[in-house]
Amino acid sequence: MNRSRSATDPRRDPFSTISAVAIRFLIVDALNLIRRVHAATPEDKEPQHTEAARNATVQSLKRALGHARPTHVVAVFDGEGPTWRDKLYADYKAGRKPMPEALRAALSSYRKSFSELGVASVSKPALEADDVVATLATKAAEHESEAIILSTDHAYCQLISDHIALRDHFQKQDRDRGYVQKKFNVPPEQLVDLWALAGSASTHIPGVPGIGLKTAAKLLHEHESLSQVLEAAANMSGKLGNTLRENSDRARMSRELSHLRRDLELGWNLKEFSLSPPTRADD
């Protein structure tokens, strides 16, 4: 287990020992923030470029803390090693630009800078940050606490609910159910079925050949879920019916790849992520 604070009471449920108080949990998709800021930082020789990017990232995190005013906060990094998605589909995220080596070498300094703000950094071997973030946010929601995910990654839109919000720090935009409906023409609950059919270019999830977002949304309006679409495909005539029948296994795999896991045993306790005082980002 990699994190900047040691566990004192490892449990499956990080909220298990928290009393009924108002909790506002900011969950930072660390590499999403770091890489976006790094890419936007004017080019310079190393190590000046990476140092400038780290300072800019810290300032961005301070602003995010000031905006969210959380009681608890954590920065989640990807774990080392192949993930279950890599094993399920060899081309998962194929073609994505690799992290610059200078930035990769500097990640420990980012963790240290986050710690100086009172923000713990965590990761789990062979797990993407996406699944860890999803589990933490879901646990918060189950305890009727407020979770705010800081990321531009649309994958988190599937989690949006009354207790889980998604914040695009760079656009200064809170993504809610209305945002998802407008952008994808389906509610958050149907997004994984949408991507199962249409695929996702950003993560190289294949979907069903020839089906785009518009057709996928239409199918889900008519049949509600992927399983019902595939069941209906048995009686569909024409090219669409044939395509769905021939690619049913591919669609199911794409759904599995798209779905964020929310039931991981993480072994952390929410007390480890408390931010005290909550308004320290304004200092």
CATH code of the domain in which 237 resides = 1.10.150.20
Please tell me whether residues 276 and 138 are part of one structural domain.
yes
Residue-range definition of the domain harbouring residue 241: 185-258
Please tell me whether residues 165 and 226 are part of one structural domain.
no
Q: What is the pLDDT of residues 235-271, one digit of tens each?
A: 998 999 999 999 999 999 999 999 999 999 999 989 9
Please tell me whether residues 136 and 59 are part of one structural domain.
yes
Residue-level pLDDT at 10? 44
Edge-first strand order for the sheet with 2-3 is 2-3, 120-123, 72-76, 24-29, 146-150, 164-168, 173-175
Please tell me whether residues 64 and 114 are part of one structural domain.
yes
Q: What is the pLDDT of residues 125-152, one digit of tens each?
A: 999 999 999 999 999 999 999 999 999 9
Please tell me whether residues 125 and 243 are part of one structural domain.
no
Of the listed ranges 49-58, 171-180, 274-283, the one predicted with least confidence: 274-283
* Distance from C-alpha of 274 to C-alpha of 70, rounded to nearest angstrom: 9
Please tell me whether residues 190 and 138 are part of one structural domain.
no
**What CATH code is carried by the domain that includes residue 36?**
3.40.50.1010
pLDDT-based confidence at 280, cuts 50/70/90? very low
Please tell me whether residues 241 and 152 are part of one structural domain.
no
Q: What is the pLDDT of residues 26-83, one digit of tens each?
A: 999 999 999 999 999 998 788 899 999 999 999 999 999 999 999 999 999 999 999 9
